[in-house]
Structure 1
Amino acid sequence: MSVKYGILTLLHVQKNHGYELKLELESLLGIKGKINPGQIYTTLDRLIRDQLVSSVGMDDQERKLYEITTEGNKELAHWLLEPVPYHSTKEDFHFKWSCARKIAFEQEKNMLDQQKAMIMKDVLELTKLKTEFLMQGDENRYLLITGTLLHLEADLNWIHQVENRNQS
């Protein structure tokens, strides 16, 4: 999970102030927990430094407002299209997908296709390893890889369900 990309997602939707970004980001994360307010402001400072976000004055309650820049939108789109490797937690992809849905990302299908391609590549590599471990009689590694393959299969099934719902 990346606070940076969560903030870029939320600012893509609308200009906002730090505390509201904190609340919205916690909502985007669902059951994952709370965000430290200091982390929001530190991240906003870095995003401004990197010219991905700009400060655009104050709202009617004198809170500093932020908006995403053109470069910020490019960075967000680039991140959304990057597949998440399996060794990273699958929640990372689910968070990224939630961000894409939040902004009605036009390339969501491309994002899902790239994730499927990465999973399939991992499945092929792990299936080869699984066979080698079976031939060597290494039952522990064989079973560990079998478990990983089952997780990858579940991830593929989930992506297929998402795609089927999008087509309905």
Structure 2
Amino acid sequence: MRRGAVHWGLLALFSDGPKYGYQLRTELDTRTGGMWTLNVGQVYTTLERLHRDGLVDTVGQNDEGRTMYAITEQGQAALAEWFATPVTGAERSRSELAMKLAIAVTTPHADVTGIVQAQRVESMRQMRDYTDLRRRADPEQEQAWMLLLDHLMFALESELRWLDHIEATVLRRRRAAGSPAPAPVDRRPGALAEAAEQPPAAGKR
């Protein structure tokens, strides 16, 4: 049975000793710098599945009456296997942005260039935010958080290169087909930076 990242992330938290449900939620939030926050219901649902599958077991209650869980030998073996197994293409390919653009390039009248430009501005805004967060992080106390930020920043750099590739490919094919080219995009660094400084649209954080 295929298990998701939440399943493994919570199981890994038991490596340093027994824990109760809400403690798992707090520790996951702390270790990921708030980037991977779960509600209490998700935590307890996952914890029930870990217990059902024999990966954790109850070990009594703490002084406050909370049920404590600890990783089992079966859980330790499964966790070791997860750490040793590379992430496959199936986990990487489920991207809303990839799906949006894959559909847009084959949809009549879809403004692919506009979609690309809007995403570029948003990705640059995110890059600026992550850069600022990393600058303010404590290298001694927040190493895991900094590594997560590095991952997000490298992913954004790759995304921006991919957006450039899509835009160039669409323009080339439109020219080859004799279709009118879209209005030119102001790609000057200053212009993009000004756009990135604009506040997010209503309903976006």
Q: Which residue of 2 aligns with 1:47?
A: 50
Tell me the distance in 1 between the aligned counterparts of 2:32 and 2:5: 10
Tell me the distance in 1 between the aligned counterparts of 2:43 and 2:49: 10
> Aligned to 1:16, what secondary structure does the other structure show?
coil
Q: Which residue of 1 aligns with 2:40?
A: 37
Letter in 1 for 2:47: L
Alignment of structure 1 residues 1-168 onto 2, 5 Å: 2-86=5-89, 88-89=91-92, 140=169
Q: Could you give the per-residue CA deviations for residues 77-107 of structure 1, whole angstroms, max 9, x where no partner exists?
A: 11111111356349xxxxxxxxxx98xxxxx
> Aligned to 2:15, what secondary structure does the other structure show?
helix
Larger Rg: 2
Tell me the distance in 2 between the aligned counterparts of 1:2 and 1:37: 16
Tell me the distance in 2 between the aligned counterparts of 1:46 and 1:31: 24
Tell me the distance in 2 between the aligned counterparts of 1:88 and 1:48: 25
Contact 2:59 2:67 in 1 (8 A): yes
Question: What CA RMSD, in Å, does the superposition of the two structures yield over aligned residues?
Answer: 2.7
Letter in 2 for 1:20: Q
Give the ranges of 4+ consecutive aligned residues of structure 1 lying more than 3 Å apart after TM superposition. 86-90
Letter in 2 for 1:140: T
> Which consecutive residues of structure 1, in runs of 5 or more, have no partner in the other structure?
91-100, 103-138, 142-168
Letter in 2 for 1:15: P
Tell me the distance in 2 between the aligned counterparts of 1:31 and 1:18: 17
Contact 2:28 2:36 in 1 (8 A): no
Tell me the distance in 2 between the aligned counterparts of 1:56 and 1:35: 24
Give, in angstroms, the shift of residue 34 of structure 1. 2.0
Aligned residue pairs, count = 96
Percent identity, aligned pairs only, is 38
Tell me the distance in 1 between the aligned counterparts of 2:92 and 2:31: 17
Give, in angstroms, the shift of residue 13 of structure 1. 1.1
Give, in angstroms, the shift of residue 15 of structure 1. 0.4
Tell me the distance in 1 between the aligned counterparts of 2:52 and 2:18: 18
> Aligned to 2:57, what secondary structure does the other structure show?
strand
Letter in 2 for 1:21: L
